[in-house]
Each structure stands twice: as C-alpha cells, then as structure tokens.
Amino acid sequence: MAAAAVRAAEELAEREMAGRDASHDAAHALRVRDLALSLAAELGLSSSPDRLLIVEIAALLHDIGDYKYTKDNAEDMSIVERFLEEVELEQGQREEIVAIIKGMGFKNEVSKKSVVEPTLEFAIVQDADRLDAIGIARCFTYGGSKKNTLHDPKILPRDNLSKEKYMSKDEKQTSINHFHEKLFKLKDMMKTEAGKKRAEKRHKFMEDFVAEFYEEWSGRA
C-alpha cells in the first residue's frame, strides 16, 4: 500500500502543479522528496518505514495548496486532505502529514513564533524544502514569473516582517531583496544537524553570488 500511496502522491503533485513556474512546480516537489529521504537516511530513519512514508508523502504534497498560487492568497488543504483519505492512510498518519504541511512554511516563523512542536519528520521535510529554497535559480525564476524588479537600490529589504506583510502580493518587491528578506536567514533556521551541514555550503555560494551581483550592478566588477 505504501508504494501505491507514494506513486499516487507523485501523480497528484504532477497534475496539480502543472503549469506553475519552475520554482514551485512538480520538479520542486520531487527534489524536496529526494532531499527529505536523503536527510532521513542520514538521521537514521531508514529502519522506520511508517515514519519514512509520512516524510515522503508530506514532502511530495507540501506545496499543493500554496497560498502563492491561490486566488484568495490563502492556503487550501482540501485537495491534500481528500487525497489522504482516498489512499486510506491511517488517521494518525493523515493528521501528521497535514500538520507538517500546515506548519512548515517560512511565513509561519517570519515573526519568530513557532506554530508547531517539531517532530523529527516535520524537521526533515521543512529542512529539505528550505535547502531547495537556498537556490539562486529558483529565486530569479519566481521573481521573473511575478514580474518583480530584478534590483532597485531605492527599494530596501524589509525588516521585521509580519506574516501578513510577507504574504502580501500588493507590495512592490525585488528579487535581490528576497535574498535578504528570506534566503539568507534559512541557514540559521534549519532544525536538523544534517540540514545545517548542507545549508552551510549552499549559503556560502549564495552569499558569494549576491556580493558579485552588487559588484557587477555598480560597474565595479
């Protein structure tokens, strides 16, 4: 049953995320799943198939109802909840998967208020998603899809963002500011040792890129 549920989750992600920009498409969900399973193996979870199933399905479905792709700017968990019932997962598994997805977003910690008590499964899936976010290509892909300005020195990065301000689609934003407002913060928000170790390398590469970008933008490079 587990293999069938995973395949059904892959198919749901491919179907529901089709047509999105490449920052939050099905390939993103598959990468997060692969990262999550890799972290789980490193953290000794390979001998617990029931827990691995929760990790894998939560990773595959975590962006199905993402507010950034809904008309009313709100999360929609209805598709995921209906799917979990259809594949006949146990109630406890369904509840944990839904809790992971609802609690893992950056917006839930942007005000430094944790919304869940993290289990290891939660920490693994969230770290995997954040590792995939620490990426230069994804940042510019998403910004381009929203027609955000690449960089404007007059638009400063926003400090002390509330959840509502972070989620707002109305405020003018730039792709470069997204590094300062979110991506540079992710390294210190990782919850597992395996995730922290991998984030260090990605973070350094991202810092070097942004520093070079400013040199090129100013004509100094």
Residues 21-75: pLDDT tens digits?
999 999 999 999 999 999 999 999 988 999 999 999 999 999 998 888 877 666 7
Share of the chain above pLDDT 70, in %: 91
In the predicted model, is pLDDT for residue 182 greater than 90?
A: yes
Q: How far apart are CA 34 and CA 187, in angstroms?
A: 19
pLDDT at 81 over 90: yes
What is the predicted pLDDT for the residue at 65?
83
Count of domains for the chain: 1
Q: CA 15, CA 64: separation in Å to the nearest integer?
A: 10
In this structure, the dihedral spanned by the alpha carbons of residues 56, 61, 62 and 64, taken in order and rounded to 10 degrees, is: 170
Tokens of 43: 């953290």
Which pLDDT band holds residue 14 (cuts at 50, 70, 90)?
very high
Copy the structure tokens of residue 12.
């749901």
Contact (CB, 8 A) for 200 and 181: no
Least confident of 31-40, 115-124, 137-146: 115-124
Closest CA to 91 of 65, 60, 54: 54
pLDDT at 112: 60
Give the position of tokens 């926003």.
158
CB 133 within 8 A of CB 181: no
Q: Which domain holds residue 73?
A: 2-218
Q: Once rounded to an integer, what is the mean pLDDT over residues 185-210? A: 97
CATH code of residue 213: 1.10.3210.50
Classified as helix, coil or strand, 149 is: strand
Whether 56 and 36 have beta carbons less than 8 Å apart is answered as yes
pLDDT bin (cut points 50, 70, 90) of residue 111 is low
pTM score? 0.91
